[in-house]
A and B are shown apart, each in its own frame.
Chain A
Amino acid sequence: MDMFSELDSARGTPRLADIRAAIRLTGAQRVEAKWGLLFISPWLIGFAIFYLVPMVVSLLFSLYDFTLSAPDEARFIGLQNWSRMLFDDPNTWETLFVTFKFALISLPIGMVSAFLLAVLLNSQHLIGKNIFRTLFYAPTMVPLIAAILIWSRVLNPQTGWLNQLIEITGIEAVGINGLRWLDDPNLIYIAYTFIGLWGIGNAILINLASLQGVPTELYEAASIDGAGWLRQLWSVTIPMVTPVIFYNLVLSVVGLLQFFIVPWVLNLGSGYPEGTTNFYMIYFYKQAFTFQNMGYGATLAWFMFIIGLAITIFLFATGRYWVYYAGESK
């Protein structure tokens, strides 16, 4: 079973009778339960201290006007932080818009690239598969900060190699009127997507493992039916790897909602160029840690959590219709 289908099956709320039955244990079962809880206690304690309590407190913070530098002046203001965030603060929706716009560009490019690279690396005609796999994975091992620093120079309009490479193909790219990747509001998301492409190694590997798990009989049957390569890819391969696509999709969405490091390293969250890199997480960071506005920061964080949860639930709900799980009849 895939980890998310496991999640799915456990989602049903436990009935009261089940709970009673679970609690009514025999002596041996009680000993076992005691040991089980003892073994999971490190995580259980950590979960309570670092997840459960802070989440609740965070929600409480969102009802207060609370600045870290003056904790004694904290006062209860009800839902004012929430109404300010939703109705009075244009930054909330602007930064959310920026985040989603970037996600809509970078997510499909990233996921399709990872899938197609996995198909290439799985090809029976590719010589030296293992070397290719290692080398295509290698950039994912480059520490993100180092990757950003290198890319910021590769994308330099004059001295960067990307523009010089494009110039070889005959397109004018070098120079002040050329492709100014990190300065042009129309190109900035593509530039950030390039940097992101250096982190798709895990997605490639998971896709690859999934491709290797597709039974060869399916391809044989399809080819007897006269299906060509493209048709096989569309009708056999893609449906069979949908669980992995789904897994990558959920993790990518959650990750993109928290997109922070690239714009921070490149421009310290200034939004350059023209506010196109004012991501939601940057705004949260400024409110909570630059202005030390704990109450409003907590409100923004909770809102991010709600949005992420809504998207995740939406994905799981629609996943029933397009994600294929082997052994499950529909």
Chain B
Amino acid sequence: MAENKKKNEALTDFEIARRRRNLLLQAGITLFALILLGVYLMPLLYGVVTSLKTKAQSADPSAPLVPSIAVTFDYEGKNYDVLQVPTEAGIHEWALVKKGRRASQFVDPGNPGAGLIDWEGNWRALEPVWVPSVQWDNYPQAWNTIDFARLLLNTLVYAFVTMVGTVIASSCTAYGFARFNFPFKNLLFMVLIGTIVLPPAVTLVPTYAFFVNVLGWGGTWLPLIIPQMFGNAYNVFLLRQYFLTIPKEMEEAAQIDGAGRIRTFVSVILPQAVPALTAVSLFHFFFAWNDFFGPLIYLAGNRDANPITVGLTEFNGLYSSETQLILAAAIISMILPLAIFFMAQRVFIQGIVITGVDK
């Protein structure tokens, strides 16, 4: 009896130790993940914070981290920088009125009537006085300078037109591979998957020569849109995997009711596959939003047709010293993709997993 009780106590001791160990592990691992995430997302925070600074602050390594402006003081009709001036009586915040190499004259903003104060030392070594101030105005300024409305319109039209095309073509193709038997089906499917690892460069030169020289479509969106009207291997693969999970009985029932193949596909299969179709549409949208190489070569010489990617790159080249505007433009360009991702992440993540590991 006593022995049994002792055993129970030992067990609870063991249990307590185990729980304590688990709690420690939880805290340790979660803290580690938090630190890692902080470092991983640090550039994003940097981008947001710096996009709200003045140009002067963004270029000053000793400036405070939060968006601020250097304080100035209006003295007898002129603006002077307020600096941190060390004196025997501690650090004063005085406005620098007359600069000299060894000695300068300041005025105390709190008591301008006292007149100029002489100070010995090199004013260049003095730090300015910063007060927090957020430059929201950088955003409309970046938006207008880069003409973001036009870039956005170009990108959206491109994304939606090609999205409709590629989703229709890919789902037809996927249905063909999922449900029908035809000669060389496996070989054709292998070729389709093989196009994933084919470098686009190998088809690019003749395609470019044909579109630009023969058809004269240089500077237009047509060479970028038309090839995407024929589906793409990733989309076909994802949709095929999804179609394979839809029970055949539903189609057979529809066919007994007299529906043709196309009717069955449109009214039975597609409504069942809405999650997969959404995932494919989203993937395509992000692809189009990021597409760079195609627009770079085909739209060369027609700046009005630029999408966001090329527009941002040109903006970066022209305004490279305006860090705050470049970062504001970069952040404007990521708002829509990030918003869509946060809203639709479940469908999205499932789609990636299917293309990557699905059996």
Write the residues of chain A forming the contact surface with B, with a CB cutoff of 8 angstroms.
1-3, 6-7, 10-11, 14, 19, 22-23, 25, 29, 32-47, 49-51, 53-55, 57-58, 61, 68, 71, 117, 120-121, 123, 125-128, 132, 134-139, 141-147, 149-151, 153-154, 158-162, 165, 174, 197-198, 202, 205-206, 209-210, 213, 243-244, 247, 250-251, 254, 257-258, 260-261, 264-265, 268, 281, 284-285, 288-289, 294, 297-298, 300-302, 304-305, 308, 312
Contact = CB atoms under 8 A, between A and B. Distances in A.
Interface of B: 22, 25-26, 28-30, 32-33, 36-37, 39-44, 46-47, 50, 58-61, 168-170, 172-173, 175-177, 179-210, 212-213, 227, 229-231, 236-237, 261, 265, 286, 289-290, 292-293, 296-297, 300, 308-309, 312-313, 316-317, 323, 326-327, 329-331, 333-334, 337-338, 341-342, 345, 349, 352-353, 355-359
B199 A254 contact: yes
Nearest to A46: B230
A32 B185 CA distance: 12
B26 A125 contact: yes
A268 to B, nearest CB: 7
Contacts, number: 305
A254 B190 CA distance: 17
A153 B231 contact: no
Contacts of B173: 39-40, 42-44
B327 A150 contact: yes
Given A55-B203, A206-B353, A139 B44 contact: yes
Given A29-B181, A135-B37, A197-B40, 11 more contacts: A41-B172, A42-B168, A51-B198, A57-B206, A120-B33, A142-B338, A145-B312, A149-B312, A153-B50, A251-B196, A301-B204
Given A3-B193, A55-B202, A301-B199, A146 B352 contact: no
A3 B338 contact: no
A60 B181 CA distance: 35
A192 to B, nearest CB: 14
Contact of B29 (A126, A243, A284, A285): A126
A125 B46 contact: no
A132 B357 CA distance: 21
Given A142-B338, A174-B61, A305 B43 contact: no
A258 B47 CA distance: 28
A284 B201 contact: yes
B334 A143 contact: yes
Contacts of B317: 268
A54 B180 contact: no
Contacts of A165: 39, 42
A154 B50 CA distance: 10
A159 B353 contact: no
Contact of B333 (A126, A146, A302): A146
B231 A43 contact: yes
Contact of B180 (A32, A123, A161): A32
Contact of B190 (A7, A243, A257, A288): A7
A141 B338 contact: yes
Contacts of B28: 125
B111 to A, nearest CB: 35
Given A142-B334, A250-B197, A134 B204 contact: no
A159 B222 CA distance: 43
A306 to B, nearest CB: 9
B334 A33 contact: no
Nearest to B181: A32
Nearest to B51: A150
A127 to B, nearest CB: 5
Closest 3 interchain pairs by CB?
A: A46-B230, A36-B180, A39-B176
Nearest to B337: A141
Contacts of B286: 141
A114 to B, nearest CB: 11
5 contacts: A120-B32, A141-B341, A150-B44, A209-B356, A247-B357
A5 to B, nearest CB: 10
Nearest to B218: A68
A42 B172 contact: yes
Nearest to B195: A51
